[in-house]
Structure 1
Amino acid sequence: MKNKKSKNSKPAEKNTPQPQQKTFVFGKKNYVFMLIGLAVIALGFILMSGGASNDPNVFNEAVFSTRRIHIAPMVVILGFAIEVYAILLNPDS
């Protein structure tokens, strides 16, 4: 007997998996802003450092300097704001 194919039958398609392209979650622009934000945060923590005394019985007034109390925390908060901006930034625009 002859093998008759029906009109609706299609030739068997090969189920070869296509290699998926690996993509990053963010674009290059996002990563640049993230690195800038990390550098600003690190700068803020560097500005906060210091003011210690070698003798625990001697109090050093340098702990309360304007740089450590006001400027450094604002720099750190600015760094976190840059990080949030980097996450929300649309790299296509």
Structure 2
Amino acid sequence: MATPKTPATVPFPMELKKGETRYWCACGRSASQPFCDGSHKGTGFTPLAYTADRDRIVFFCGCKHSGSAPVCDGSHVKIMGRN
């Protein structure tokens, strides 16, 4: 699989309500980061659905390298400076 673009080197904190579903951009090409806008078409990437289990702030991965995608796991610290 291709390497995703890195649109940000920090997570995107987003407030979600219980039951709200968002589709996280996995390719890094979306102009609506951290969410999918369909820019992945033809790339082999697929957006990931995230549904909030309660009202909460979710830190969505901005670097696209999280091992816990779509949630940030701190991987951006390792890749800072590389794009």
State whether TM-score is above 0.5.
Answer: no
More helix by share: 1
TM-score normalised according to structure 1 size:
0.21
More strand by share: 2
Q: Which has the larger radius of gyration?
A: 1
TM-score normalised according to structure 2 size:
0.23
